[in-house]
Each structure stands twice: as structure tokens, then as C-alpha cells.
Amino acid sequence: MRKFLMAGALGLLLPAMASAGEYNITVDRVMIDTGDFVKEGIGYNGASPGPVLRFKEGEIATINVTNNLDEMTSIHWHGLILPYDQDGVPGISFPGIKPGETFTYEFPIVQSGTYWFHSHSGFQEPDGAFGSIVIEPEGREPFRYDREYVIQLTDKHSHSGDRIMRNLKMMPDYYNRQQQTVGEFFSDASANGLMSTIQDRMAWGDMRMMKADVEDLQGFTGMINGMGPEQNWTGLFEPGERIRLRFINSSAVTYFDVRIPGLDMTVVQSDGNNVQPVTVDEFRIGVAETYDVIVRPKDAQAYTIFAESMGRSGYARATLAPEEGMESTVPEMREPARLTMADMGSMPGMDHGSMDMSGSPEMSGMDHSTMQGMDHSGMAGMDQGSMATSQEVPSDPFYAKGSGLVPTAANGGKFLSYADLKAQNPLYEDREPTREIELRLTGNMERYSWSINGVKYEDADPIRLKYGERVRFKFVNTTMMTHPMHLHGMWSILDVGAGEWNPVKHTVSVQPGTTVYMETEVDAPGQWAFHCHLSYHAAAGMFRKVIVEGGPDSTQAKADVAIEEGGDA
Amino acid sequence: MSRIRSLVVVSLLGAALIPTAVAAQEMIADTTDRKQPLTSWGMQFEELEYRYSDDDEELGVWSADFFYGTDDLKVRWLSKGEYAIEEQAYEGLENQFLGQVPISDFFDAKAGVRFDTPEGPDRTYAVLGVAGLAPQWFEVDANLYVSNEGETSAELDAEYELLLTNYWILSATMDATVAFSADRAIGIGKGLVSTETGLRLSYDLVDRAFSPYVGVVHERKYGDTADFAEADGGGTEDWFAVIGARIAF
């Protein structure tokens, strides 16, 4: 399958810069066994997840993809910088790959790090069509490790992607089994008082929004490298070794909070780009993001890699151990997260001025749900002002103040924030953006319709960018869901307030009730997809085509400009 | 260093793009399904039940809903029936075929026709209605009917689900019909015609696809309608014990 060795040998003979990394991939119907259930899905080379594709920076990748399905398929190389017609989005990059056809992708590898690939057709990706990409850098990396593993997460559900989409359209709470019950009403009433609990329920009922609306899809089995919690994927190590874990979240819709009890994790890379090392106890990985961490287990014992979903409805589990068959305890999942009024902060029609957080029932709801394992006694009567300063209170500038989604580490330690991510080696010179484009993330949970600036993809004009400009995207999340926004083909420089050290990513999570900025150096001509990476949000319309006009070859895309003027969504 | 890397990136890209420059002039238009409105469908039996009345009457009852369409336009087929098991006759049988469009975040307007074909005279109605989710989670459905006899009537349906747990659900339903003019042939008097109130305790056994329930239903006729029923030798009020299942697929 892998012709790398042969290509390497050729490389010795040829003085050319590129040795070819060539792969053959077949797209197949496969059986997926989660340990909880077995289902038919879609995989690559007979398995889901597909293979780990290894490349070296500077070589030319050649990948022959043969479609053995009875429907169209495609492969998108998530996070790779490449010519747009190799990006693998049907209808934008190319027409797609017909049943029985072989399509050859060929593009130069111009970056290094951890990435992944997946189908961009229908719901093939939630059905299992994904794999991982590891690119070895040309130069030395600023960190050392003795061993590495890809840790590819997913949220495997017994229903097919089509069925899940249909069920969500029919009943948006179809999969939500964490809704507030009569029992919770009484426990809240005894904790916060009857009147404030009634007021709280009325306030949410008036909006017709659910505090429990954290995850669209529950009832999945969390998988790591194709294995469910019971099957327990195991990576071996020698005590004292540094292990690089390449976390990839290939879920359809699930965010995971990842920890390895007993081990610190040093985050060294995110979305394929090195970051200044930051040591954490736990981190949240958004859908489609990657994080590379280095751990150094000193003892000859087993360690559990525990990844519980953001809404605590399911978990993935794997083990690092000196020997096969060893295992450590698997922690209990924490209490389900509950949204607060803060997460509704920018809901249309809400009056910010009237949101007195300190005495409102929402706040008491928040103490209750998000401060598990913390000292409750010190919290009574807390107000917003003291929240910001107190060490004990979870706060993260990338979540709404008082959000019920702010993560805390299970051991009370450090939880990674976007604010901790600083580029190790900025890819671009820092400069003023040439313009700003506001993208409001919009939707209606009751109708399960999702859009950008209130317009679904089916009705939207493309976003037109000019080659050479630096665009500042302003995401305003007006919904109560978290949206991992993914721009194809060009980097997303996430504004964490670190100026030239802002981290360079391919997927940026925008939490409910927040505004997040990212900047993009428009350096890739052609047309590209730009969308929420929650599969069912993208399919419901939270998706755009981006056209980059102009380019190194100034003749291109000119014909296109004539068609229509327009700059925003 | 970083600048060097980005230069390399750009030059590599540039080199790679030369052969594709021609192709770039003819960037494809998105004609895939993704660019089309998402169509969806669903079928639900809100009620599929056996009723046993305090007068030992036995009924088979259903209330079903099939839809197909997009966010902007759905077609809906609503079917309701009450089959008297002993008499082997439909006490009620109605089918509505509707087009439905959104009019606000939480409400849809619908219009169509309703065919009533129970035992006895048939009726055809024009239907105009709104359905959606009211504040505090009340599902409401309000309809105006004009029959082929020219009689007008209105119906209001409301439902509230109380989650005892995330699987045990107590649902309360209320349905009231008002006639603006009498239709003696089908036993309808002017004014408040009838109410049906139900309380059902269900358990979600298979996802939300199959949820068996037990419950009680109270039916009552009012005013002239009640008088007509009595004149025809029928009752004006019934209590039912019900057992059935909610089904969605």
C-alpha cells in the first residue's frame, strides 16, 4: 500500500526536492463494531477509521482514491494547504468521485503536523469515512518525543447520518436525554428556592430554549482509533519515555474534554501548527480540531485516556500502558452541563442591560451545574465582579461570562483555554487586516435550521475575497450551540490577543453568546468551502462558498468576477 | 524564519497552480444536493390506542401525521380515526392534506382540505390553520374549517409534555371544537361543540420511535350538539381508559 520506501529510494537517485508519497485508498462499505453495537458504515481500505497517511514536508503527495460505493464520494484533506481543485469538496473543488471511478489527488505537501481527511459527500463522514494524516517536518521540531500515537476520536451512533438528520428535523430533541425533569425542578427548588426556580423555568420557557441543549446527538459510543470504551485501544510505552499523542476529533457533532488522570499533558501543537508549550491537566477538543500533546509517564502502570463529551452524555476511553492488557480505572462522567442565560447573551431580542447576573436564578443554576467538585461554600452570594477575579471560579475569555459551558479540570488543575494558545513560530507577518467581515452564526433549534447571517447555503451568495488581502472575520454566535467554524484552503489566525503570536488554526470554535475574531491571509486562489463542522449544522445550511478573486496568475477568476459583485454572505 | 516558510508555501503553491490556472477560470458551480434545500420527512402516530369507556364501549383510535418537505414548504397528511369495535363502524374518520409554510420562528401557517368520511354523511372542508410551539412549551394547533355545506367551525388543540424523567413522560392534551353554525346532519350544534381532554403516561422504549402508554381520556359534548346526541340516543359524556403507543419513524 505504502510506496514511501520505493519513493524514498527513487529520491536518492533524483536530486529533485520532492520524493513522492503515494497512497492508494479504496472507499468501502465496512462493518463498524463499537463494542456496544455493530453497524454498517463507510471506511477506507476496508476499515473505519481509515489509514494513517504519512507524508514528509516538501514532497508531492499522490493519492489514488477508488470509489467502491454505489454513490458519489470525495476526500477532503482537512487543514492541508493545497490547490483548490485538490481540496475534495464536491460542487466547489471538483465534481466528486463517481461509483467505480478512481480519482488521483496530487499536491505538494507544504506544511507539517497532525491533520486528518474525510469524505465531504453527504453523511459519509459521520458514517465512518475518515482517517488521519501525519506530516513529518523538514526541519527539527522544537520538542522531543520517543514515541507517537494518533488518537482519533469519534462519536459513533447506531443510526446512520441520514437518519440522524431526519430525526433532528422531525424532533430537534430526539436524542436529548438530559432535559430538565420534574425531579430536577424539585432539587433546584430546594437548592435555590421555589420562586427563583419557577422564574428560571418561566424565563427559559418563554424563549422556548432548553438549558440542556448542549449536544444535538446523544446515545453515541465514544471511539478512539476505532475502538469503543470496552475495546480499550491501548498504546504501549516504556516508563520515562516521552509520548506524543496526536489528538484528532473526527466526531460528527461531539466536543470532548480530554484528560489522562495521573499525567500532565504538554500541548505543543494545535491544528497542525506548533504552539508555545503549555502544560495542562485537561483540554476540550472541538469537532475537527487537532491537539498534539506530550506526556511522560514515569511509572510502569497503566493510564486511562478519558474523553468525556462536553455535555457528559458519553465518553471515549483508551489506555497507555507498559504492557498489553493492563488497564487503569475509568472515571465516572461528571454532571451534565447546563446552559445559562449568559450563553443566550446575544440572542435576538434580549436586553443586555437588564441582565443582572448576580441575583438571577440563572446564576444559581450555574453554581449548581458547572462547579462540581469545587468549594460550594465560598460561592454563595457571589457576584459577577468577584467572579472575574476569583481563582476558583471557572472563567475563560472564549466563553460568555457566567456561561454554563466553561470547562474545569476534573482534578481542579489547569484546563486549556484558547487564550493559552500562542504560535511557536508565526506563519505570517503580523499586519493590519484590510477589512472585516461579520458572520453571525444563526439558527433555530426548534426547526433545526442553521445558517450564517440568517441565510442558509442554498440561498447564499458566495463570500468574495481578494487575493493578497488580510481579512478579519468576526463571528457572532447568536445561537445557544457551539460552532466549530472551518475555512478550507487558508489558515485561520485566531485572535487570542497575542498579536503576532496568535495561533494559526484551521477550525475555530465559537461558543454560544460570544464573539470571536480570526484573520486570514488570502493567499490561495480558487473557491473554497467555509462551514460549521458539526455535520448536521453544515447540512442544514451553516455553510458558505468562498471565492478568492485574483492571484499570482492574474488572468484567473476574472471571468468569475463579471458574474456578480458582492463581498459578504 | 516564518516569513521564509510562508514564502516557500506561496512559491510552491504558485508552482503547483500554473497548470491549474486555466482550470481556475472555469470554477465549477455547486449543483450538488448541499446547494439544494434540505428535504426531510417523518411519520408519527401521536396516538394509536385502544379505548374502553365507562359505558363498556370499545374504540380503536389513531391520530397520525406524515410530512415531507423543506424548511420553507412542507406537505402534511393528518389522519384521525375512531373505530367502534362492536359496531364495526367509524364514529370519526378524517384526513387532512395540507401545505405548510413558516410564518414566525415558532409557528407555521397551513392550508388545505379535510375529508370526513365516517359512518353517516361525509363532509369536505377547506382548512386554514396555524401550528407551532407557544411560550412555556405548549404545542398548539388552531384550525378554521369551512364545509362544503357552507358551515364554519374552529378547532383548538393544545398539548403539554411533563418530563417525569427523560423517559417517563406525562402528556396532557386538550382539544376543543366550536361551530359558528349548525350542521344537524352530522350532529353539530352552534356554539361549543365538544372537548376531548387526555392524560397519558408514556415510556420511551425504543428511542423516540416506540413509546407505549396508558391514560385516561374524557370526551364531552355541549349545548345543541349534546341535545342532538341525546335525541339520537347517544351519550354526551364519556370517560375512557386508554392503552396504546406513540410511534415515530
- CATH code of the domain containing A556: 2.60.40.420
Strand partners, A507: A486
CB pair distance less than 8 Å for A110 and B105 = no
Residue A185 is assigned to a structural domain of this protein: no
CB pair distance less than 8 Å for B12 and A425 = no
| Residue in this structure with the C-alpha cell 454572505, named with its chain if needed | A569
Q: Which residues contact A102 (CB under 8 A, 6 or more apart)?
A: A64, A65, A66, A67
Q: Give the model confidence (pLDDT) of B122-168 as tens digits.
A: 999 999 999 999 999 999 999 999 999 999 999 999 999 999 999 99
CB pair distance less than 8 Å for A169 and B18 = no
Q: Which of A145, A153, A314, A118 is nearest to A248 (CA)?
A: A153
pLDDT string in tens for chain A (569-residue length): 444 444 444 434 443 444 568 999 999 999 999 999 999 999 999 999 999 999 999 999 999 999 999 999 999 999 999 999 999 999 999 999 999 999 999 999 999 999 999 999 999 999 999 999 999 999 999 999 999 999 999 999 999 999 999 999 999 999 999 999 999 999 999 999 999 999 999 999 999 999 999 999 999 999 999 999 999 999 999 999 999 999 999 999 999 999 999 999 999 999 999 999 999 999 999 999 999 999 999 999 999 999 999 999 999 999 999 999 999 999 999 999 999 999 987 444 333 333 333 333 333 333 333 333 333 333 333 333 333 444 456 789 999 999 999 999 999 999 999 999 999 999 999 999 999 999 999 999 999 999 999 999 999 999 999 999 999 999 999 999 999 999 999 999 999 999 999 999 999 999 999 999 999 999 999 999 999 999 999 999 999 999 999 988 644 444 444 444 444 44
Burial letters A157-185, b for 16+ CB under 10 A, else e: bbbbbeebbbbbbbebbbbbbbbbbeebb
The type of residue at A60 is I
Alpha-carbon span B200 to B220, nearest angstrom:
18
> What residues 3-62 of chain A have any CB closer than 8 A to a CB of chain B?
none
A91 touches chain B (CB under 8 A): yes
| Residue in this structure with the C-alpha cell 497552480, named with its chain if needed | B17
Confidence at B100, pLDDT banded by 50, 70, 90: very high
Q: Which of A349, A347, A536, A568 is nearest to A449 (CA)?
A: A536
A447 and A555: one domain? Answer: yes
Nearest chain A CA: its distance from B48 CA (Å): 19
Nearest chain A CA: its distance from B27 CA (Å): 7
CB pair distance less than 8 Å for B6 and A427 = yes
A399 and A509: one domain? Answer: no
CB pair distance less than 8 Å for A545 and B30 = yes
B104 touches chain A (CB under 8 A): no
A313 and A344: one domain? Answer: no
CB pair distance less than 8 Å for B30 and A523 = no
For chain B, what is the mean pLDDT?
91
Q: HEC string of A405-443? A: CCCCCCCCCCECCHHHCCECCCCCCCCCCCEEEEEEEEE
A544 and A506: one domain? Answer: yes
All three cell numbers of A266, joined, read: 504538554
pLDDT score for A393: 61
Q: Which of B238, B246, B247, B234 is nearest to B52 (CA)?
A: B238
Range of the domain at A54: 4-140
**Which residue ranges make up each domain of chain B?**
40-248
Nearest chain B CA: its distance from A389 CA (Å): 36
Its ipTM equals 0.89
- Structural domain ending residue among the three candidates A390, A425, A460: A425
Main-chain dihedrals φ then ψ at residue A544, nearest 5 degrees: -140, 155
Chain A residues touching B101 at Cβ < 8 A: none
Residue A183 is assigned to a structural domain of this protein: no
- Structural domain ending residue among the three candidates A378, A393, A425: A425
Alpha-carbon span A52 to A250, nearest angstrom:
13
CA nearest B65 in A: which residue? A170
Residue A246 is assigned to a structural domain of this protein: yes
Residue A568 is assigned to a structural domain of this protein: no
Nearest chain A CA: its distance from B133 CA (Å): 8
| Between B5 and A552, the higher pLDDT residue | A552
CA nearest A200 in B: which residue? B136
A157 and A20: one domain? Answer: no
Quick check: B145 and B153 in contact, CB under 8 A? yes
B4 touches chain A (CB under 8 A): no
A303 and A226: one domain? Answer: yes
A155 and A232: one domain? Answer: yes
DSSP run (H or E) holding A528:
strand A526-532
All three cell numbers of A149, joined, read: 500515537
CB pair distance less than 8 Å for A446 and B133 = yes
B165 touches chain A (CB under 8 A): yes
Main-chain dihedrals φ then ψ at residue B191, nearest 5 degrees: 100, -160
A243 and A263: one domain? Answer: yes
CA nearest B14 in A: which residue? A552
Residue A113 is assigned to a structural domain of this protein: yes
Strand order across the A52-56 sheet = A52-56, A130-136, A113-118, A76-78
Classify strands B191-203 and A256-259 as parallel, antiparallel or unpaired. Answer: unpaired
B103 touches chain A (CB under 8 A): no
A376 and A286: one domain? Answer: no
CB-count burial class (<10 Å; 0-12, 13-18, 19+) for A429: exposed
Nearest chain A CA: its distance from B51 CA (Å): 27
Classify strands A483-487 and A507-510 as parallel, antiparallel or unpaired. Answer: antiparallel
A551 touches chain B (CB under 8 A): yes
A563 touches chain B (CB under 8 A): no
Q: Which residues contact A185 (CB under 8 A, 6 or more apart)?
A: A197, A201
Nearest chain A CA: its distance from B95 CA (Å): 21
Nearest chain A CA: its distance from B89 CA (Å): 33
Alpha-carbon span B80 to B92, nearest angstrom:
8
CB pair distance less than 8 Å for A81 and B9 = yes
Chain A residues touching B35 at Cβ < 8 A: 91, 457-458
A174 and A282: one domain? Answer: yes
A428 touches chain B (CB under 8 A): yes
Answer yes or no: is pLDDT of B174 > 70. yes
Classify domain B40-248 at the CATH topology level.
Answer: Porin (2.40.160)
A323 and A448: one domain? Answer: no
Chain B residues touching A92 at Cβ < 8 A: 28, 30
Nearest chain A CA: its distance from B101 CA (Å): 12
CA nearest B208 in A: which residue? A174
Alpha-carbon span B90 to B97, nearest angstrom:
20
Chain B residues touching A85 at Cβ < 8 A: 20, 23-24
A490 and A522: one domain? Answer: yes
Q: Which residues contact A498 (CB under 8 A, 6 or more apart)?
A: A422, A423
Is omega for the bond preceding A83 within 30 degrees of 0, making it cis? no
Angle between the N-to-C axes of helices A361-370 and A194-207, in degrees from 0 to 180, rounded to the nearest 10:
100
Residue A569 is assigned to a structural domain of this protein: no
pLDDT score for A557: 45
pLDDT score for A551: 86
pLDDT score for B9: 46
For A83, the closest of B17, B71, B137 (CB atoms) is B17
Estimate to the nearest angstrom the gap between the alpha carbon of A208 and the chain centroid.
Answer: 27
Q: How many domains does chain A have?
A: 4
All three cell numbers of B218, joined, read: 374524557
